[in-house]
Chains A and B, each alone.
Chain A
Amino acid sequence: MINKTLTTKALTGILALGLAGTTMAEIRIGSTLSETGPASFLGDPEAKTLRMLVDEVNAAGGINGEQIDLIMYDDAGDPNRARTFATRLIEDDEVVAIIGGTTTGTTLAIMPMVDEAEIPFISMAGAIQIIDPVQPFTFKTPHTDRMACARIFDDMQARGITTIGMISGTGGFGSSMRDQCLDIVGDYGIEVVADERYGGQDADMTPQLTNIRGKDGIQAILNPGFGQGPAIVTRNYSQLGIDLPLYQSHGVASQGFIDLAGPEAAEGVRLPGTALLVGDQLDDNDPQKSVVLDYSAAYEAEYGMPVTTFGGYAHDAFRLLVDAIERAGSTESQDIRDAIEATDGLVGTTGIYTMSPEDHLGLDISAFRMLEIRDGGWMLAD
């Protein structure tokens, strides 16, 4: 019996020691991303981007002469794990700032932690509740889903569309964007006459699309959602021969979507996207052009695959942080936070960021470009 107690105690001790200890470095930045799991198509390019950029900055001499030590964990999209890793980053690794929170769920799980520990935190998740109301230590880089809705409705208005149908995913992204779109659609004089849903694992959306097509006077269809759902919707759409404009969300702005839906089915699909996807079509005096092309070239050279909007969010988050640390000239969390909040005109791939105490996103709707899929690639629609 004594044996057992001793063994268990010793074991605990060994495990505790095994968990401890990473080497000290100059500027320690933490990150918890959903590199695997259901959100891996977001988390994977984010993680790749961060690793690449950290190497790049360190090779160029670091920030203010100090090297960056990036500590990255994979929360697999589970908010409980994300919270545990955030605790670990704050308490054990003692990082000065955290980049991460791939999904809205993981971000919301981390936010109370960073607020209590007073560590600046830049999220790469979409939902508006991350920055509204503003929490002093939480920032984010992607547009909100509300802005995506606004951009889409702007485009519909310009095309004279007044009656639409919606088909939304039931996942976090789809549900949240559906709610935001329904919330503001009235301001644009557009009426939603059909509101269909589909589950994350559904393999066929023809019944919902047939329902929508049957509505009187329908002029366009909007599909908030990400992952495989929108690709299936797009394919079913062309199989049914529906001859109405189809709008997708910014959640599918990657080459993977076109490949999955098939270039023919995706032809003519419109969605609000970032400059990143159409870098070479940008005007030469567009301030984003060089940033976007540099990032694309570096990423493609490093990993041999095309950039995605999501990797771009990580790029912007990292640039925001580096810029803030440089301007603060300090690695104190409070100074870094203040500097991020004072960000003015930082050019990223998603847009040009200008933060303020009331705005922890720093983008407006103009940063969204309306894109159209043509011949299996992205075209600026306006």
Chain B
Amino acid sequence: MRISSKQITLLVLLALIAVAPFFFPSSFYYRVGALVFINGLAVVGIVILTGYAGQISLGHAGFAGIGAYACALAPAHLGIHVGLAAILGALISAVIAYLVGRPILRLHGYYLGVASLGFGILVAMVLSNEGQLTGGPDGIAVNDLGLRSVLNDMGLSLTNSEFWYAFSGLTLVVGAWLALNLYNSPTGRAWRALHGSEVAARTVGVDVARLKLQAFVISAVYASIAGSLLALQNRFITPEVAGFMHSIEMVTMAVLGGVGSVLGAIFGAIILTVLPQALTVFAEHEMMVLGLVMMLVMIFMREGVVPTLLRFFRGRGE
């Protein structure tokens, strides 16, 4: 039996999540791990949109904001459980992505980039200015998910950080699995066709506008779930989650690791989440080092870190 590259990617991912804790000197690292997985999940969404379908969004943090604030606001105003609120947030994000994307994605070029940029900033502004509803710039508290106490009752006792490490890790594996399945599906092939050439894809009968819209909606759901996970883990959320810098961070992670590959995107999330923690000793030079890493990757590994390394190892193996 031949193992497909999809299964290998998932196995590597699972192994990483399972083995990493053996290297953790303290439970702080579970927190960093959980942040890596949450960022990774959002970045897998970017891989679908940018890596598969070739579209650029500079406002995905807006969807993370919607997912996060759904967890804070829906339980308070609609009386539903936070878990359901996260799903509701994902639905709202999908609908908004559909409404925003539908007119824009009929156009060529970088209109989506510009429009999504505006959308993301708009969400951040609404979240910080509608203080009576959202708690304003100082943020708002989020209810406990309650899953940890359920697990506790079942005899599986985890600390808070261990639980979030495992929970967001598993969510990431599911997200990565879905994304990998999409890659080889007819939709995924059509995406890659329109990524290669929109004109050629249209000539062979691909409904370009509809497929671009699908990719945008799916990636918005990824961002929304990531935002919800962040809100649920922190039990507190501020409008920063929807901020412009967060959008840029997502795209940067995807591009750094390799925007065409799910594993690459996760690797990008690892680097950009862990590096700032490792660089606290030279806090003043953190931005310089990060910038240098980015430049070197862009110059010497133009497809991103993981695809370039894979090619290097394959090339040597043959």
- Chain A residues near B (Cβ < 8 Å): 1, 3-5, 7-9, 12-13, 15-21, 35, 73-74, 78-81, 83-84, 87-88, 90-92, 104-105, 108-109, 112, 116, 127, 129, 170-172, 175-176, 179
Contact = CB atoms under 8 A, between A and B. Distances in A.
25 contacts: A4-B12, A8-B12, A8-B16, A12-B23, A12-B270, A15-B274, A16-B24, A18-B278, A19-B29, A74-B280, A78-B240, A80-B241, A84-B32, A84-B277, A91-B26, A91-B161, A92-B28, A104-B138, A105-B240, A127-B138, A129-B138, A170-B129, A172-B136, A175-B138, A176-B138
Interface string B257-297: 00000000001001000101110100100000000000000
B234 A109 contact: yes
Given A172-B137, A175-B131, A5 B12 contact: yes
Q: Determine chain B's interface SS by DSSP, over half rule.
A: helix
Contacts of A1: 8
B27 interface: yes
A179 B138 CA distance: 13
Residue with the greatest number of chain A CB neighbours at <10 A, chosen from B15, B137, B241, B310: B137
B25 interface: yes
A8 B136 CA distance: 41
Nearest to B280: A73
Given A4-B313, A91-B161, A108-B139, 15 more contacts: A7-B309, A17-B23, A19-B277, A35-B283, A74-B283, A78-B240, A79-B139, A84-B32, A91-B27, A91-B31, A92-B28, A112-B236, A172-B136, A175-B131, A176-B136
A16 B104 CA distance: 44
A105 B138 contact: yes
B50 interface: no
B262 to A, nearest CB: 14
A367 to B, nearest CB: 24
Nearest to A169: B137
User: Which of B8, B24, B235, B277 gathers most chain A CB within 10 Å?
Assistant: B277
Q: How large is the interface on B (under 10, 10 to 19, 20 to 34, 35 or more residues)?
A: 35 or more
Nearest to A88: B28
B35 interface: yes
A80 B31 contact: no
A105 B35 contact: no
A6 to B, nearest CB: 11
CB-CB nearest 6 A-B residue pairs: A91-B28, A172-B137, A16-B23, A92-B28, A20-B25, A92-B26
Nearest to B35: A84
A150 to B, nearest CB: 20
Nearest to A22: B281
Contacts of B238: 79, 105, 109
B154 interface: no
A115 to B, nearest CB: 11
Contacts of B29: 16, 19, 92
Contacts of A80: 35, 230, 234, 240-241
Contact of A84 (B12, B31, B139, B241): B31
A246 B12 CA distance: 64
A83 B8 CA distance: 34
Contact of A172 (B27, B138, B280, B313): B138
Interface string B22-45: 011111110110010000000000
B1 interface: no
Contacts of B241: 80
Contacts of A15: 274, 278
Contacts of A9: 15-16, 19
A134 to B, nearest CB: 16
Contacts of A105: 137-139, 238, 240
Interface string B286-318: 000000000000000000000001100100000
B128 interface: yes
Contacts of B157: none
Nearest to A13: B23
Contacts of B313: 3-4
Contacts of A4: 12, 309-310, 313
A224 to B, nearest CB: 13
Contacts of A3: 313
B16 A12 contact: yes
